[in-house]
Chain A
Amino acid sequence: MSDTFFSGAPHWTWFIIPYFFVGGLAGGAYFLAAALDWFGRPEDRPVVRTGYDVAAVGAILSGLLLTIDLGRPLRFWHMLFQSENFPALMFKGWSPISFGAWAILLFGLFSVLSALGARAEEGRLQLPALRAVGGVVKGGVAKVVAGVGGLLGLFIAGYTGILLSVTNRPIWADSPWLGALFLASGASTGAATLILLSPGRGATERSLGWLSWFDARALVVELLVLILFLASLGPVNRVWVGFWGLVLLVGVIGFGILAPLRMHAKPAQAARLVLLGGFLLRIATLLASEGIDRYRVVAGS
């Protein structure tokens, strides 16, 4: 038996699961939008603008979910500043939850700046203050913001998996592949979100074609990493014998990866399945471990 089976479950469930999903797809969407911002064409702007919007809304939602999940939500700022020594900063470079809190804050800042810049570009900002901020984020400034934010997006998509690995819990700490897996899933679900939302903002077929092309390859990467993840678990894989194993096999691999890979002709349907698979991946990996109770394991029941 892995020593991880003697630890306690942290109750990271119905606020953390959607956070991992939303944070992942927001990070992935920002990364793709930034890639198009830097290396795309003017016709890709609708996708870029959608990506920044998705990232900004996702980042704000992520912050809310994380805060609500705390046992003492009003103390959320204790992760950023030393509560007894304000305004000294609170930061531990070796603790994913600590550097993750800062990363979420910065990602939120960059994604909102990019979204405001994109809205200013469209002339959709009414409030003078927002228009002033949005007006600054253009040209070279917008590019720099997008570059840093895109990297932060990838970081947000992947660090949640690293956070799980840097514990002593079954499954999570038994493999070093969760960060890579969540990152690939964040990229695929980010692309899927853009495939679904950007046509409403005027995305061209060529932009959507690139997104579908990328999404299919991100799914292949995700599948390969998922195989490596399962292989690295070794004897711990027995935890998948049961409901969560079924969810992983049928929901994540079947509906979330293999089915969309075969649906080239229907990108919208494929994208919906990718989103479903991404959500089920977070549910299965979190709840399969959460369900392993130290007391029951020790008692052998």
Chain B
Amino acid sequence: MPEPMGFFTDTTVCIGCKACEVACKEWNQLPAENGGIGELSGDSYDNTRKLDGIHWRHVRFIEQFKGPYDGRWLMMSDVCKHCVQAGCLEVCPTGAIIRTEFDTVVIQSDVCNGCRACIAACPFGVIDVNPVSGTAQKCTLCYDRLKVGLEPACSKACPTDSIQFGSIVELRTRAHKRVDQLKAQGVKAELYGADPDGALGGLNSFYLLVDEPEVYGLPRKPVLPSRNLGKSASFSLASAAVLGVLALVGLRKRRMDDMGGPGGGPN
């Protein structure tokens, strides 16, 4: 049994080259958006804009400038987090979403019927429909490459090792060392998703960030969709009980009216 594998993304060394995006698109044969007709976002150097069914890697550009000479760029190559407790897998009604032997989360395109429950369930906004297949798609952590002992296309292409692939245990050790190194240099660095006791049981694609998670478009405390199930079902049950009682009370009042009882009921 292989051990859990994943990504550690050190955002401090990302240079925004988008080699990961290109490698991902190329390897996974993902189609161009809008039939290849270019549409510029007008937002920084980011025309990919977001992760979706045909963009499984997205390099986010964050410009933090107070003036022309006072500021910094933050860049982060975003991808599916391959959550240990995955919301998408939890809700998927067809069984298309599975956990692999590498502890990664994969959507089987031949099983998915495009109901899109997983899109709303993912706390990170990772999944969307691939318009060509009509099914929900996202990063597979190059399951096909992993099966034959290759590393994922994106991390292979990353020229600065901002995206590092390996066993989760080893990556965590490496990440903690890097945080210590940066902190020693006075950089405010934190890991996001590296804690196995943290949100969603830890993320098998975790990050080193130098600002708040929200700045990178990441939720502070991602949660499973099922957290609402018990409460929501209980309130619905209570509502059903009230309506049921009302229906019966109405019928009883009508009967009492017929018997010449106190009025006020439905006639």
B52 within 8 A of A: yes
Q: Using A10-B119, A165-B232, A213-B266 as known contacts, say yes or no to A183 and B239 having CB atoms under 8 A apart.
A: yes
Is A1 in the interface zone, CB < 8 Å from B?
yes
B115 touches A97 (CB 8 A): yes
- Is residue A166 contacting chain B, with contact meaning CB distance below 8 A? yes
B49 touches A166 (CB 8 A): no
B243/A221 in contact, CB under 8 A: yes
> Interface stretch among A73-81, A108-116, A130-138, A275-283?
A73-81
Q: Closest B-chain residue to A183, C-beta based? A: B239
Shortest CB–CB separation between residue A160 and chain B, in angstroms? 10
In the assembly, what is the distance between CA of A166 and CA of B126, in Å?
Answer: 17
Q: Give the docked Cα–Cα distance between A82 and B49 (Å).
A: 35
Whether A154 lies near B243 (C-beta < 8 A) is yes
Size bracket, chain A contacts? 35 or more
Min CB gap B150→A, angstroms: 26
Which segment, of A87-95, A192-200, A255-263, faces chain B?
A87-95
Whether B15 sits at the interface, judged by CB under 8 Å, is no
Q: Chain A residues near B196 (CB, 8 Å)? A: none
Residues of A within 8 A of B266 (CB): 206, 209-210, 212-214
Interface residues of A in 247-301 (CB under 8 A from B): 294-295, 298-299, 301
Give the distance in Å from the alpha carbon of A177 to the alpha carbon of B235 in the complex. 7
- Contact among B119, B125, B128, B136 for A6, CB-based, below 8 A: B125
Contact segment of B167-175, B179-187, B214-222: B214-222
Interface contact A10-B247, CB-CB below 8 Å: no
Complex interface: chain B residues within 8 A of A180 (CB): 235-236, 238-239
The answer to whether B120 touches A7 (Cβ under 8 A) is: yes
Determine the chain B residues whose CB is within 8 A of the CB of A210 once the complex forms: 250-251, 254, 266
Task: Closest A residue to B134 by CB, please name it.
Answer: A71
- B128 touching A8, Cβ below 8 Å: yes
Contact residues in A for B124 (Cβ distance below 8 Å): 6-7
B13 proximity list for chain A (CB < 8 A): none
Residues of A within 8 A of B49 (CB): 295
Mark each residue of chain B from 84 to 121: 1 if its CB lies under 8 Å from any CB of chain A, else 0: 00010011111110000000000000111111110111
Which residues from 231 to 267 on chain B have a C-beta closer than 8 Å to any C-beta of chain A?
231-233, 235-236, 238-240, 242-244, 246-248, 250-251, 253-254, 265-267
Give the 6 A-B residue pairs with the shortest CB-CB distance, closest first: A71-B114, A179-B236, A213-B266, A71-B134, A75-B113, A3-B219
Which residues of A lie under 8 Å from residue B119 when comparing CB positions?
7-11
Interface flag for B129 (CB, 8 Å): yes
A141 lies within 8 A of chain B by Cβ: no
- Chain A residues with CB under 8 Å of B214's CB are 1, 6, 298
The interface centre, meaning the residue of B120, B126, B223, B254 with most chain A CB atoms within 10 A of its CB, is B120
Whether A161 is near chain B, meaning CB under 8 Å from some CB there, is: yes
Asked if A11 and B221 make an inter-chain contact with CB atoms under 8 angstroms apart, the answer reads no
CB distance from B12 to the nearest CB of A (A): 20
Decide: A217 and B228 in contact? CB cutoff 8 A.
Answer: no
Alpha-carbon distance A273/B34, docked complex (angstroms): 41
The residue on B at minimum CB distance from A94 is B226
Instruction: Other than A6-B218, A168-B120, give 4 A-B pairs with Cβ distance below 8 A.
Output: A9-B120, A75-B94, A214-B246, A217-B246
Q: Residues 119-141 of chain B: 1 if any A CB is under 8 Å from the residue's CB, otherwise 0?
A: 11111111111000111100000
Residue pair A95, B239 in contact (C-beta under 8 Å): no
Residue pair B225, A179 in contact (C-beta under 8 Å): no
Closest CB of chain A to B100's CB: distance in Å? 15
Interface string of A4-27 (1 = CB under 8 A from B): 101111111000000000000000
A176 touches B134 (CB 8 A): no
A144-175 vs B: 1/0 string, CB under 8 Å?
00000000001000110111011111001100
Q: Does A83 contact B (CB under 8 A)?
A: yes
A48 at the interface (CB under 8 A from B): no
Contacts of A223 in B (CB 8 A): none
B50, B117, B122, B232: the one within 8 Å of A179 (CB): B232
Residues in B neighbouring A97, C-beta threshold 8 A: 91, 93, 115, 117
The reply on A96 being an interface residue by CB < 8 A is yes
CB nearest neighbor in B for A294: B125
CB <8 Å contact, B113 and A76: yes
Q: Are A11 and B251 in contact (CB under 8 A)?
A: no
CB distance from B110 to the nearest CB of A (A): 8
